[in-house]
């Protein structure tokens, strides 16, 4: 059987096979070059979870948080702002560093003069977490409304004002709301300003109910003084009784005078601030009687002596009465427009004498002479010495802060001060807010 044979030459590779091998070779080289610079595993940034807020009114607020990271958590900071008067502040939580931690921070609620948080305080906050690698993560911003949880509050909202009450009728609360709105409107028109923030009014039934909501004071103060009303921050007033209309008018007027005359460069003299607040009342009450008696005796205070609050409790009613009378004289004699301008000049930074000269062409001494003449009193023989102002303890100062210097009105300090003096009104001793 015959077999045929054929000689074969060298095998030729197909072109696509050569190209595939070349691509694979280049890929291997590229990976080998990148391997030395790639990390073994990607570092996970910290994660933070807001654990919520616990209201412990009046003692304070507990903020809780949890965090995780591949490297130990080394720092947890609560950043917050107390509205509307506070500036930004921050505090660190205590915890043991670990990759998974839970922590909390307690913000005190009533420890004056360092801090005082009245009912209705609004706090904006967020957590900031940093791990050992220096990576930082923040939680989403949140808002907490710190209210008096001892009572079941009902709210009524009007034009820029909200009234909170837990006792009494809805009709009384509606009347209080109407008075609040009317006061802010009328006093804003008188002083030529606008209140561009919502105002809150908390109505308490009794002295015992309201006392824990007020800034803590000495035991002597608590036993001798009953606070009928106080503007605790620029947007919050506490009032005793659901028919305390003139107390409400007085305190809310302070919110307007603060906007009109208080600023970074100017501060209102006591007689102008409190006199305007009494001027807003439907009746000066016992303050007017105290003034009438002093005029009959020829024993009124000098205007310069009441640029600050009196240091003698027996002069308190006269201080308010005379302040009211001076304001009434300025408004009735020179008109609303000049009165509003006086506040604007003080807010711009002028002292009271300079502001009076700019607006009226008189200083406090000339004003006193004109005012005394209007009451049938002779000119003062010689300037009376200025009485020393009340000390912080005597005034019952309660400054609000958030870990940074805040004057309850810090930057825009509208503070919570009540006058520790005997002021007879309806058989009670009245403590008026003072700045």
pLDDT digits (tens, 9 = 90+) for 122-150: 999 999 999 999 999 999 999 999 999 99
Whether residues 346 and 303 share a domain: the answer is: yes
225 is a domain residue: yes
| Maximum alpha-carbon separation in the chain | 160
Q: Residues 411-426: pLDDT tens digits?
A: 322 333 333 333 333 3
Whether residues 163 and 107 share a domain: the answer is: no
pLDDT (0 to 100) of residue 14? 55
258 is a domain residue: yes
Q: Residue 131 sits in which domain range?
A: 47-146
Whether residues 237 and 107 share a domain: the answer is: no
358 is a domain residue: yes
Percent of the chain surpassing pLDDT 90: 70
Q: What is the pTM of this model?
A: 0.76
Residues 6+ apart with CB under 8 A from 257: 187, 191, 268, 272, 273, 276, 277, 343
pLDDT (0 to 100) of residue 293? 97
Last residue of a domain, which of 94, 111, 146? 146
Instruction: Measure the CA–CA gap between 125 and 140, rounded to whole angstroms.
Output: 9
The tally of domains found in the chain comes to 2
Whether residues 174 and 104 share a domain: the answer is: no
Lowest mean pLDDT among 31-40, 188-197, 426-435: 426-435
Whether residues 350 and 211 share a domain: the answer is: yes
Whether residues 132 and 167 share a domain: the answer is: no
Whether residues 218 and 93 share a domain: the answer is: no
Show the beta-strand stretches assigned E in 179-246.
Answer: 199-204, 229-233, 236-240
Q: Residues 55-114: pLDDT tens digits?
A: 999 999 999 999 999 999 999 999 999 987 777 899 999 999 999 999 999 999 999 988
Last residue of a domain, which of 109, 125, 146? 146
Q: Which two tokens stand for residue 264?
A: 């970074």
Last residue of a domain, which of 93, 126, 146? 146
Whether residues 318 and 420 share a domain: the answer is: yes
226 touches 143 (CB < 8 A): no
CATH of the domain at 135: 2.60.40.10
Helix or strand holding residue 3 (H, E):
none
CATH of the domain at 262: 1.10.390
2 is a domain residue: no
71 is a domain residue: yes
Show the beta-strand stretches assigned E in 172-267.
Answer: 199-204, 229-233, 236-240
Whether residues 198 and 334 share a domain: the answer is: yes
Among residues 190, 204, 296, 193, the alpha carbon closest in space to that of 242 is found at 204
pLDDT (0 to 100) of residue 223? 72
Inform me whether the pLDDT recorded for 45 exceeds 50: yes
161 is a domain residue: yes
Whether residues 298 and 355 share a domain: the answer is: yes
213 touches 230 (CB < 8 A): no
């Amino acid at each position: 059987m015959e077999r045929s044979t054929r000689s074969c030459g060298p095998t030729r590779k197909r072109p696509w096979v050569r190209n595939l091998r070349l691509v694979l070779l280049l890929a291997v080289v590229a990976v080998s070059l990148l391997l030395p610079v790639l990390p073994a595993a990607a570092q996970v940034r910290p994660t933070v979870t807001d654990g919520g807020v616990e209201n412990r009114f009046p003692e304070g607020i507990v903020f809780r948080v949890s965090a995780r990271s591949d490297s130990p958590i080394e720092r947890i900071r609560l950043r917050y702002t107390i509205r509307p008067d506070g500036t930004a502040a921050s505090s660190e939580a205590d915890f043991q560093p670990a990759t998974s931690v839970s922590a909390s921070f307690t913000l005190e609620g009533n420890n004056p003069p360092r801090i005082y948080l009245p009912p209705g305080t609004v706090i904006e906050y967020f957590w900031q977490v940093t791990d050992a690698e220096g990576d930082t993560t923040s939680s989403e911003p949140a808002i907490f409304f710190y209210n008096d949880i001892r009572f079941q509050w009902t709210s009524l909202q009007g034009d820029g004002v909200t009234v909170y009450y837990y006792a009494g009728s809805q009709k009384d609360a509606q009347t209080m709301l109407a008075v609040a709105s009317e006061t802010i409107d009328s006093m804003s028109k008188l002083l030529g300003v606008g209140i561009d923030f919502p105002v809150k009014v908390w109505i308490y039934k009794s002295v015992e109910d309201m006392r824990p909501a007020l800034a803590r004071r000495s035991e002597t103060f608590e036993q001798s003084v009953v606070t009928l009303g106080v503007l605790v921050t620029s947007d919050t007033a506490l009032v005793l009784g659901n028919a305390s209309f003139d107390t409400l008018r007085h305190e809310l007027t302070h919110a307007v005078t603060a906007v009109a005359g208080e600023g970074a460069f100017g501060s209102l003299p006591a007689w102008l601030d409190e006199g305007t607040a009494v001027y807003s009342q439907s009746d000066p009450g016992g303050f007017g009687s105290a003034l009438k008696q002093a005029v009959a005796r020829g024993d009124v205070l000098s205007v310069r002596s009441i640029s600050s609050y009196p240091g003698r409790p027996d002069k308190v009613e006269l201080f308010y009465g005379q302040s009211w009378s001076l304001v009434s004289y300025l408004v009735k004699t020179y008109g609303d427009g000049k009165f509003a301008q006086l506040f604007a000049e003080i807010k711009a930074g002028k002292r009271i004498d300079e502001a009076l000269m700019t607006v009226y062409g008189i200083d406090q001494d000339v004003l006193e002479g004109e005012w005394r003449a209007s009451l049938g009193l002779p000119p003062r023989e010689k300037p009376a010495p200025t009485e020393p102002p009340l000390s912080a303890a005597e005034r019952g100062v309660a400054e609000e802060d958030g870990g940074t210097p805040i004057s309850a009105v810090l930057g825009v300090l509208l503070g919570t001060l009540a006058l520790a003096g005997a002021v007879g009104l309806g058989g009670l001793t009245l403590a008026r807010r003072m700045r």
